Structure 1
Amino acid sequence: MSNELSPKQRSALQRVLDDPYLQPWLFKKVDNLVWFDAFKDSGLFSPELNPEPFKTADNTFKIPSWPITEYLVSSSLRLKEEHDVKIAQQYLKLLREVTQYAADNKQSNYRTWWQFSKVLRNLPLEVITLEDLDCVSYWLNDKFDRYLVNKEISEWMLELIDIDTEKSVSFAIFLLDKLFEIKSVEGRYADKKQEAELGFDDYLAGEFVEENALALGEKLGSTVVNLCERKLKEVLDINRNDKWSNIWRNAIPEHKQNSHQNDADDIVLKLFRDTLLGYVKKESDNNANEKLIELINSDYQTIRRVGIYVASECFEQLEQQTKTLVIQPDNFNDKYRHELWHFINKNFSLLQGQQQKSVIESIESLNVTDEETGALLDKPTAYKQSNWFAAIKDENEITQAMYQACVYITGVEPDHPDFSCYMGGGVAVDVSPLSVSELAVMLEDIDELINFLNEYKEVGHFNEPGIEGLANTFEELVLLESGEVLNNLEAFIELKPHYLHKIFSAYSKLWGDKAQRPWSDLWPKIINFASKVFNEESFWTSADNAKPAPFIGDKHWVISSYCRLVESGCEKDEHAFSLELTSDVKKTLELILSRESGEDFSDDSDAVSIAINSSRGRCLEAYIKLSLYQCRNVEKDLEQHKQIWADYQPTFDDELNKPETAGEYEFITIQLMYVRNFLYLSKDWTVQNIDKIFGEKSSLQWRCALQAYSYVGWLIPEIHTHFKEREYYPTLLDDEALSDEVKGRYIEYACIAYLQKRDQLDDESLLKLILSRQKENELSKVVWFLWSIRDHNLEMTKNLVFSLWPDLVELINQQNSDKKPLASKLALWAEYIEELNADTKAWLMAVAPYINDDHNGMSFMQELARLSEDYAFDVADIWKETLSKPFYMYELEPIETIFKNLLSLGQVGQALAKEITDIYIKNNDEAVVELYQKISRR
């Protein structure tokens, strides 16, 4: 073959040299190797011609292509066919020169490197050395894009493995090393924090691992396993997250609990896992077992977890020594729980007798002790053991009994026993700059963590990491079963309020979930922590803590979350804090009350809502519940009860004056909501202060108190007497600032007063007052309430109903409107009627035409059907009255019952049934007519 260009080819070359715009056309058209030297001699391969990226007008970068690389790719295919080693060496030299020039001048062009990758794949292997492949590292690390080169090189690597020569395999291992090169880069959000980053494009690397890692282990054996192990160690060392792998990688196998997707640690872990799995499955020899033993003994917790997982998957290939090593007592640790739990769950029955005994003994040796005394904590210990026994509880009667014994002590079965850290489902709406495992790593230097949390500034863009997401992730850190934060609370006093809030709220969640934790150790820590936080002057005075911060929390949120926690700790529960701690809690709450001001109330405010949601109100509720907690624990000792009350009374006295002294209404509102509790704490104090509690009639204090007392749902005799003496009822019913709902509750109290025989139906009674006002909404409330308590079987209620009914009928008869909703409500009282006489029939006749004005027609007809069993003729009369204003019956069963009862009474009943049917015919109600015809034919 001639190495010279033809005259025509030389002419074409000259034209493109004279006019560079023609070069792309020529480079795409030609692929003959003869052009290589000509292009080279013309300077077209000069490294400086490789174009650099440039910034466009819209401030983005454009990466131009180098046209001559089109020729290099197409001609290299010819080179591959002709196997011209000499020219191949020239190609290889060109790739090295251009790459070296770019490296020396810090130039970038991923399009060129992508084309060079194609060329390299086409060169004969005998001309390539490992030194030549160094240029691949530069191509793989282009700052603008890695995907195209990664894809090309990874595909070539797989081809080299398939060639399966010593050289091709060595090249493949080299390229795999370069593809999965690990870099340490500065964290995006945390200063001075290093993060591991892959040279391989994350998405492509994830796909590559999923599709090829298992086969790599099968084909390349221990060589690739050792490489991948080294890579994983590099990632873990940079991220410093090995000891937290059970958080960022909850399960070594694929599982929905695994939070990471395509991060470097996640990808490299899966690469190592699958190559190891492929190797052990393929090589069931002593070497594979020795490797597993080495991994299960590793100082890296993540690597040990991988070793245990693979041992479980390849159990039949394990030597006894390896099995015994897996179930060593040290591995019964929350760090390895998921993998070891499934190992024994799947393989317990296949273990030797001594090995099974060892598993049981290891589980029984697990315990939780009090930090100070060293005493064994029964429930946390039983819960810890139950998680492990859950793996083998179905093996035999012995293991089942051991599991049940633990559950009997704890009172609960573990929800997710195979996980040491299980996150509930849900859609994440707030993005955090760091994961919980990354925050956990920073716990090694708590000052670093606190500084990062306090100094972090969010970007403020949609779907970008923000403080709200970071605060939520910090709460996850607090919730970790290891208790790293809760055990070192004093170090976190300087945190900003949104993080302090999360500490208290996380503790409340643990309590609410009845988590098996060493509560006796934790309560003193959290109570002491709270005392120090609220005694810090900066908490109250700094702009950062005083400035409202919606969605993430300010000082008011911290107060509220702490007080909610105190309320939880006062419950009658084994997780409650010790009575010895009540004095410290009381001092802290009193400190908060002295510093925290109340919310603004107005005449039309929802006083209860404001009070229970304000931070001061929450503190008052906690203070009240703390006093109740102490008194209930000395219930049988009256003197101690009095002494406890004496300790709290000065604060309550002071709070009682707050409407006058500070314009604060939280205590007045909350005290009346808890009035029954105050009667328990001190009946004398409560009764003596009723007048002071309610204040002046029609004042703001009075309205707040009325709203609060309306929520009690219980008539307090002393307060009822006070209301009558001060004539509160007419005023409150006319007060436009009070809602109909509040007024309705006082109408219920009026009914209760009669039922409790504290009122009579005379001119002085509250019910007579309501009747005399003749306001339909008030009367409707009376009717509705007395109907709502119909199932209480109170004879007094029935007597009251029958006493009120005539007066209400008279009022209805005085109304001139077409619709009478009060009459419809009154129809509900038909349930109280057991027999029809002149009075009761008249009452039902009076309301019958209006029964559906408030949609009570169906229930009324059901009652008529009940009464028709004994009073069919009277019911027929009432029924005809209802038809003066016809309504649709979606359920015909009551009508069917009445028809049957009428027809059973002979000719008179049949005539009445026919008469009623004729009315339905006139009303075009075909369904009822058809029903009558069906019944009468039987």
Structure 2
Amino acid sequence: MSNELSAKQRSALQRVIDDPALQPWLFKKVDSLIWFDAFKENNLFSPNLNPAPVTKTDGTIHIPSWPITEYLVSSSFKLREENDVEVARKYLSLLKEVTQYAVVNERSNYRTWWQFSKVLRNIPLEVINLDDIGCVSDWLNDKFDRYLVNKEISEWMLELIDINTEQSVSFAIFLLDKLFAIHSVEGRYADKKHEAVLGFDDYQAAKFVEENASSLGEKLGLVAVNLCEQKLKEVLDINRNDKWSNVWRNAIPEHKQNSRHNDADDIVLKLFRDALLGYVKEDSDNNANEKLTELINSDYQTIKRVAIYVASECFEKLEQQVVTLVIQPTHFNDKYRHELWHFIHKNFSSLKAEQQQSVIAAIESLNVTDEDTGVLLDKPTAYKQSNWFAAIKGENEETQAKYQACVDITGVEPEHPDFSCYMSGGVAVDVSPLSVSELAVMLEDIDSLIRFLNEYKEVGHFNEPGIEGLVNTFEELVLLDSCEILNNLDAFIELKPHYLNKIFSAYSKLWTDKVQRPWNELWPKIINFADKLFNEASFWNSVDNTDSGPFIGDKHWVISSYCRLIESGCEKDEHAFDLKLTHDVKNTLELILNKASGEDFNDDSDAVSIAINSPRGRCLEAYVKLALYQCRNVGKDSEEHKEIWAGYQPTFDHELSKPDTVGEYEFITILLMYVRNFLYLSKDWTVQNIEQMFGEKNSLQWRCALQAYSYVGWLIPEIHTHFKEKKYYPALLDDESLSDTVKGRYIEYACIAYLQRRDQLDDESLLRLLLDRQKENELSKVVWFLWSIRDQNVDKTKELVFALWPDLVDLINQQDSDKKPLASKLALWAEYIEEMTVDTKAWLMAVAPYINDDHNGMSFMQEMARLSEGYASDVADIWIETLSKPFYMYELDPLETIFKNIISLGLEGQAIAKEIADIYIENNDEPVVALYQRIIRG
């Protein structure tokens, strides 16, 4: 092919040179590469011909197009097709030349840059190096419009990723960096605050992120993640809003609670989030866990939140150290609420046992005080803990009990537990007057540090340094790897209680997180420090938190923190304190028990919640666990065991008398909660004192003991016998001060007593008592419980179910209401029936009309489908009975099975099936009618 213009082409070129008005026509018509040199030689590519913006008379600015760029675009496709490297270099040189001229002369023309970006996409990659595409940055920064250029460059970047060569990937990363260039502009505020903006059009950027960010992480890997992380850091640094991320971004994942969508921080956050998510899911370089560890340790709150969210979404790929890092207690606050809440909600059952306990301990350490007084507020504290327990309440009895204990205090269930709840008012941030590093410097003169801490007075202005921030920063100091504080504890005994509390809580965090420390050296120091501290009169005389003040601790907090620490140190673990230290710990706990008074208990109090959250209750729990710790390390019922118990018994005897002597009920509550442990410590003492544990029937002590024993979840034979002798069961069921939850557990105990052959179904039995009372809520609990254990002790349970069923049917038949929820619950027992007899059919017929009154219709019909395999005719009678009160079936498979089994009986069965179908026709239930007709046709 000739590289020169023909005579006709030269004539056309001359014509447009003579008459520039004809140029647009020619530039649109031609697309051959041979025109390039001709246009170049005639200066038609001269950079000064690129039109400058034109200001019109009305003040608007018009950006003219440069006609010759039409040719450049159309001819550039030939470059790609023919792979003409020599000409391609000319095209690339032209793009750079025009761009450079525009930059020097401050000439803007986004239309030209748009066309140039199209051309650049068609130039063979072997012609280009990174320096050549630097001009893209100038195109993307045009002050009048970036949308068109952004679109082309972003599409090219995606093409480069798919080419997947070393060069194409390097170009793609370069373009990603330029596309998401972050600029700082003067904000709207009087203080000249700067704000981050994108070079990318916001709407376009958001759409690009939605469609492509995940694949960036999948295909480009860690290099893309690191770039996106850096972009997010730039935005956060400019906006200075990292510590407010849970305000401007309520949830890291997409959620209707997120009020903004197209601001730079939101867009770049999503870019980083989705790129990281794609990378971790792909994990092509096996470094995803290392990267997540780095991110969760980030100094940026927002980056931590993103990492926690991604860790939750990719839980099955996590290594155990990442899981432990996510659930560290410092994350259990409003900053990370949404992400950590959903992490434990989705993955709690997959955590190791010690990790689960760590989560529970972190939640229980959360407290709320009055903003003005600093006094610990029971209901707000319980509500704050209930928000977190709501995430794991359904995991096991312990978590359900702790959640319910919080709800019983507050009287309400949290409505949106996975979100922080201070959006409607002012937002308080704990700002410290000194950083942890500055406090560390002051350790060179410990006396000066203590003076500063004790004498510091906060200004009290919004967002100004305050005592709360200083206290929290002091805790960071305690947590430092150097253990400077823990190694010199005696020097800090004069600190005010809020700092002392942080010493013990920090040590607990270190222990709970299994942080590597010289534990054998530290435990004696902390135990010796506590012994000296609690023997100081000044500690006990220190002022309690008043009704107003900052959120800091007093001596009661210190006691609770120390006792939690002792509980942790008594666990079976390599970090547990040495048994040689138990004598000193025991003395200290006994000192606290002699000094600390009990909380107020009332008839309608949640005794368990009060006991486990009060300082005295925490001390008693620690004391019990200390005794267990010692006894576990010797032979059960050995002489050593008896000697250990003998050392604890006087204290337990004294505490047992407290309800009568001083009106304290913590020990009675703790004792019955841990009654199985006390049976291990001393069965004789425990059994001999059962009557004294419960006290007089209907007394406050009796109610506290009943609540506590309801949490055991285990029938203690000796206590069961005592209950029957004292006729506790009817009394507690009638006691209005006890919650339905507590009563429900005793109804379960009644069922367990029968299953364990401790009761018979006679006039003296507990179950007969429930039948005679004829209270639907109590009997519904019986029905539900026996159904819930259908996979355990099947024969015994089935025996009890069949023994109770006739009485329950009689009771149902006596009811004259239109709806009978008890009958519907009773329908669940159909699962126990394997053979259709006269009795079992009669039972099923009795409940059939009411099966959906408690929404059990679907499960009942599934059981009927099972039984129809051998008893189709009987099931047909029962089915017809259910249709006396029609209900909708969203799943028709059971009905199809029953229809087919009835029809298989022959002519009689076909007639019965038609009779049933006719009822559905009368009820206008078209799906079932259509099902029947389909079966008949088949």
**Considering the TM-score relative to the shorter chain, is it more than 0.5?**
yes
SS at match of 1:791: coil
Q: Give the drift of 1:512.
A: 1.4
Contact 1:694 1:705 survives alignment (8 Å) = yes
Q: How does 1:660-671 map to 2 (within 5 A)?
A: 660-671=660-671
Q: Deviations over 1:753-798 (max 9, x none)?
A: 1111111111111111111111111111111111111110431111
| Counterpart residue number, 1:765 | 765
| Counterpart residue number, 1:566 | 566
Q: Determine the C-alpha separation between the residues in 1 that align with 2:325 and 2:839.
A: 71
| Counterpart residue number, 1:360 | none
SS at match of 2:818: coil
| Counterpart residue number, 1:646 | 646
| Counterpart residue number, 1:776 | 776
Q: Give the drift of 1:915.
A: 1.5
| Counterpart residue number, 1:591 | 591
| Counterpart residue number, 1:937 | 937
| Counterpart residue number, 2:850 | 850
Q: Give the drift of 1:881.
A: 1.0
| Counterpart residue number, 2:118 | none
| Counterpart residue number, 1:226 | none
SS at match of 2:870: helix
Q: Give the drift of 1:546.
A: 8.5
Stretches of structure 2 that go unaligned for 5 or more consecutive residues are: 1-189, 197-228, 241-284, 286-292, 295-317, 337-428
| Counterpart residue number, 1:698 | 698
Cα 1:548–1:575 shift into 2, 3 Å: farther
Q: Deviations over 1:526-547 (max 9, x none)?
A: 1111112111111111225798
Cα 1:769–1:524 shift into 2, 3 Å: same
Q: Give the drift of 1:262.
A: 8.8
Q: Determine the C-alpha separation between the residues in 1 that align with 2:654 and 2:782.
A: 39
Between the two proteins, what is the percent identity of the paired residues? Answer: 78
Cα 1:735–1:577 shift into 2, 3 Å: same
| Counterpart residue number, 1:461 | 461
Q: Determine the C-alpha separation between the residues in 2 that align with 1:453 and 1:903.
A: 86
Structure-2-length-normalised TM-score = 0.55
SS at match of 1:594: helix
Contact 1:546 1:554 survives alignment (8 Å) = no
Q: What amino acid is the match of 1:730?
A: P
Q: Give the drift of 1:261.
A: 5.5
Q: Determine the C-alpha separation between the residues in 1 that align with 2:232 and 2:521.
A: 34
Q: Deviations over 1:406-434 (max 9, x none)?
A: xxxxx987559999x99869728433232
Contact 1:416 1:422 survives alignment (8 Å) = no
Q: Give the drift of 1:800.
A: 0.5
| Counterpart residue number, 2:383 | none
Contact 1:547 1:554 survives alignment (8 Å) = no
In the alignment, structure 1 residue 727 sits paired with structure 2 residue 727:
yes
| Counterpart residue number, 2:488 | 488
| Counterpart residue number, 2:603 | 603
Q: What amino acid is the match of 1:712?
A: V
Q: What amino acid is the match of 2:846?
A: A
Q: Deviations over 1:499-539 (max 9, x none)?
A: 21111111111111111222111111111111121111111
Q: What amino acid is the match of 1:836?
A: M
Q: What amino acid is the match of 1:450?
A: I
Q: Determine the C-alpha separation between the residues in 2 that align with 1:522 and 1:909.
A: 81
Cα 1:902–1:817 shift into 2, 3 Å: same
Q: Deviations over 1:627-646 (max 9, x none)?
A: 00000001257000000000
Contact 1:431 1:470 survives alignment (8 Å) = yes
Q: How does 1:14-25 map to 2 (within 5 A)?
A: none
Q: Determine the C-alpha separation between the residues in 2 that align with 1:853 and 1:922.
A: 21
Moved more, 827-836 or 471-480: 471-480
Q: Determine the C-alpha separation between the residues in 1 that align with 2:791 and 2:624.
A: 35
Q: Give the drift of 1:449.
A: 2.2
| Counterpart residue number, 1:616 | 616
| Counterpart residue number, 1:922 | 922
Q: What amino acid is the match of 1:606?
A: D
| Counterpart residue number, 2:631 | 631
| Counterpart residue number, 1:879 | 879
Q: What amino acid is the match of 1:697?
A: K
Q: How does 1:204-223 map to 2 (within 5 A)?
A: none
| Counterpart residue number, 2:715 | 715
| Counterpart residue number, 1:122 | none
Q: Determine the C-alpha separation between the residues in 1 that align with 2:740 and 2:323.
A: 49
SS at match of 1:540: helix
Contact 1:257 1:422 survives alignment (8 Å) = no
| Counterpart residue number, 2:805 | 805
Q: Determine the C-alpha separation between the residues in 1 that align with 2:556 and 2:666.
A: 15
Q: Determine the C-alpha separation between the residues in 2 that align with 1:740 and 1:414.
A: 42
SS at match of 2:664: coil
In the alignment, structure 1 residue 441 sits paired with structure 2 residue 433:
no
Q: What amino acid is the match of 1:900?
A: K
Q: Determine the C-alpha separation between the residues in 2 that align with 1:682 and 1:623.
A: 15
Contact 1:548 1:554 survives alignment (8 Å) = no
| Counterpart residue number, 1:859 | 859
| Counterpart residue number, 2:507 | 507
Q: How does 1:85-96 map to 2 (within 5 A)?
A: none
Q: What amino acid is the match of 1:874?
A: D
| Counterpart residue number, 2:577 | 577
Structure-1-length-normalised TM-score = 0.55
| Counterpart residue number, 1:336 | none
Q: Give the drift of 1:554.
A: 1.5
Cα 1:422–1:468 shift into 2, 3 Å: closer
| Counterpart residue number, 1:61 | none
| RMSD, matched Cα | 3.4
Q: What amino acid is the match of 2:840?
A: T
SS at match of 1:543: coil
Q: Determine the C-alpha separation between the residues in 2 that align with 1:263 and 1:816.
A: 69
Q: Determine the C-alpha separation between the residues in 2 that align with 1:205 and 1:853.
A: 62
| Counterpart residue number, 1:81 | none
Q: Deviations over 1:837-878 (max 9, x none)?
A: 110011010001111111111111111111111111111111
Contact 2:194 2:239 survives alignment (8 Å) = no
| Counterpart residue number, 1:104 | none
| Counterpart residue number, 2:738 | 738
| Counterpart residue number, 1:471 | 471
Q: What amino acid is the match of 1:580?
A: K
Cα 1:618–1:575 shift into 2, 3 Å: same
| Counterpart residue number, 1:141 | none
Q: Determine the C-alpha separation between the residues in 1 that align with 2:754 and 2:449.
A: 65
Cα 1:888–1:796 shift into 2, 3 Å: same
Q: How does 1:31-46 map to 2 (within 5 A)?
A: none
Q: Determine the C-alpha separation between the residues in 2 that align with 1:834 and 1:563.
A: 54
Q: Give the drift of 1:650.
A: 0.5
SS at match of 2:460: coil
Cα 1:722–1:637 shift into 2, 3 Å: closer
Contact 1:496 1:544 survives alignment (8 Å) = no
Q: Deviations over 1:586-627 (max 9, x none)?
A: 011001000000000111111111111111000000000000
Cα 1:885–1:554 shift into 2, 3 Å: same
Stretches of structure 1 that go unaligned for 5 or more consecutive residues are: 1-200, 208-252, 265-345, 347-385, 388-410
| Counterpart residue number, 2:795 | 795
| Counterpart residue number, 1:819 | 819
Q: Give the drift of 1:933.
A: 2.1
Q: What amino acid is the match of 2:829?
A: W
Q: Determine the C-alpha separation between the residues in 2 that align with 1:825 and 1:806.
A: 14
Cα 1:929–1:528 shift into 2, 3 Å: same
Q: What amino acid is the match of 1:924?
A: N
Cα 1:468–1:937 shift into 2, 3 Å: farther
**Bigger radius of gyration:** 1
Q: Determine the C-alpha separation between the residues in 1 that align with 2:628 and 2:330.
A: 36
Contact 1:903 1:910 survives alignment (8 Å) = yes
Q: Determine the C-alpha separation between the residues in 1 that align with 2:587 and 2:749.
A: 38
Q: Give the drift of 1:463.
A: 3.0
Q: Give the drift of 1:444.
A: 2.2
Q: Determine the C-alpha separation between the residues in 2 that align with 1:654 and 1:558.
A: 24
Q: Deviations over 1:868-921 (max 9, x none)?
A: 111111111111111111111122221122122223332222222222111111
